[in-house]
Chain A
């Protein structure tokens, strides 16, 4: 133990303790979740379960609406991500390259969707959806998910596009590429890290969205988080733990896969106002 702290160094010991606390704070609940999910029998005062088992896993996978909800969740997340890309990437490029009146105002207006209590916003949207016949439809659920991610999906790619210098695009024109080829071969690949981060964010956000879906999608569109609520209230905590892991897994996998793109800069530059 002593060699370890010596290696850390006296000056950094406080930073190290803070980090350690942080890790415990984050990983503690996750560890607890893991233990719960594989528990057979566990009596309260003991630190670890008496019996390990997979019975809650089989139980969860036997519930029909769970399997359905997983498929539905991923379908919706994929549609939301695809549509947001198609909609927001051109908008982000416009915000980054074209100076038009009130462009900053428009960019800021996306913040409004996050400025009010979500439920209030959703209820007013639900009233509108009701009139338009969008309640209890896939389109309605997709729309309400998109409202959530509009800001990230525009701001982060806008910053990426802004970081591409005019000279880099002009050089490409100069050596013989037309505007479309320049966008495809130069601009888009250079902005890709930001677009990827925003897309992952959008995908995860959609997987995780419960409030709006609950309001707009019930009873036919029960996504994973919605089903989660009923599992938590109807079954023992073990089943909830299993389900949480299923819900967390895509996040972890996607973030690990995208780690090389997710630099703090990409995120931070999305929140600069220029």
Chain B
């Protein structure tokens, strides 16, 4: 499919020295891309540069093949939903929604029609006459999303639009957004620091750290094959142990294929679901079972592995029935991820 938004070697440094550098990213038409990373990693900086609210120091931003860097926000084919304070409290919902359409010289009946349709779409039918102050936080964000949808932007930008909402509502809103995106075929760039949110709605995730991109991949790939130690740490639950690489990767008595040709000391990451627990005579690293927590249909166990520290594993509930805290066990890994030290 065609490239809708292209960011090339974007760089922005604030006076304080913070900022982003070397951001390159191609987003296909109709794709929902998430910028994910810890607070202060530069997600908002990238998004605001796309929207026209920040002037980058270097690089280029192209929308449908044309550079937009010279245009102010009101001339860009983008639309942005902010974390909060999107709406104008002195105007009704109708006037909030109509503001941009009136500037575009749309006829009054057409505006009315479009607004009533979009309010239907964001599940706020008939709310035209209300003032923002009379709406809940979630409803206000829906109106903000509706306002952006009305303008049919080439790219819709969302900067943590649901982060001020409670967990249940946030869940609902993201599902609705995904539906709207699927129906409308809009290209969206969604900023969040919530990995669960990113994993659940994105076509692709851009993981950022300290102003740089760490990895761009589908949610499944980000989870299964984190390319850097940072991504391994940031996404999902993970155990870390030290190992050594020669012809194979070695951890205690265990060894794994060294596919990436590492050498010397390495960091090894293991997902809890890849931890295999055997009895004391089994094959693996010997350890002592510290704790068993039954969490519904599975159990989380923690095992102390001497020099390797404590690791956590997920086990089926049946498998832990016969186990007692304090007993000796051995631990094996179904799959490991290896990262060079340093």
A: residues with CB less than 8 A from B are 165, 167-168, 170-178, 181, 185-186, 189-190, 192
Contacts and interface: CB of A to CB of B under 8 A. Distances in A.
Contacts of A170: 53, 73, 80, 82
B86 A168 contact: yes
B74 A185 contact: no
Contact of A190 (B80, B86, B90): B90
Nearest to B48: A170
A177 B74 contact: yes
B72 A173 contact: yes
Nearest to B53: A170
Interface stretch (B97-105, B114-122, B215-223): B97-105
Nearest to A170: B53
Contacts of A192: 90
Which 10 A-B pairs give the minimum distances between C-beta atoms?
Answer: A175-B100, A165-B85, A167-B82, A167-B85, A173-B73, A176-B103, A176-B74, A189-B90, A174-B80, A176-B100
B85 A175 contact: no
Nearest to B51: A174
Interface residues of B, number: 26
A264 B79 CA distance: 37
Contacts of A168: 85-88
Nearest to A171: B86
Contacts of B87: 168, 171
Contacts of A177: 74, 99-100, 103
Given A170-B80, A170-B82, A185-B99, A175 B151 contact: yes
A186 B88 contact: yes
Contacts of B99: 172, 175, 177, 185
Contacts of A174: 51, 73-74, 78-80, 148
A192 B88 CA distance: 13
A172 B88 contact: yes
A273 to B, nearest CB: 23
B4 interface: no
Contacts of A172: 88, 99
Contacts of A185: 99
B142 interface: no
A78 B92 CA distance: 33
B11 interface: no
Nearest to A164: B85
B94 to A, nearest CB: 14
A171 B80 contact: yes
B15 to A, nearest CB: 12
Interface string B45-78: 0000001110000000000000000001110001
A190 B91 CA distance: 10
B239 interface: no
The residue among B72, B99, B144 with the most chain A CB atoms within 10 A of its own CB is: B99
A197 B51 CA distance: 36
A175 B86 contact: no
Nearest to B75: A176
B52 to A, nearest CB: 8
Among A171, A172, A175, A185, the one with the most B-chain Cβ atoms within 10 Å of its Cβ is A175
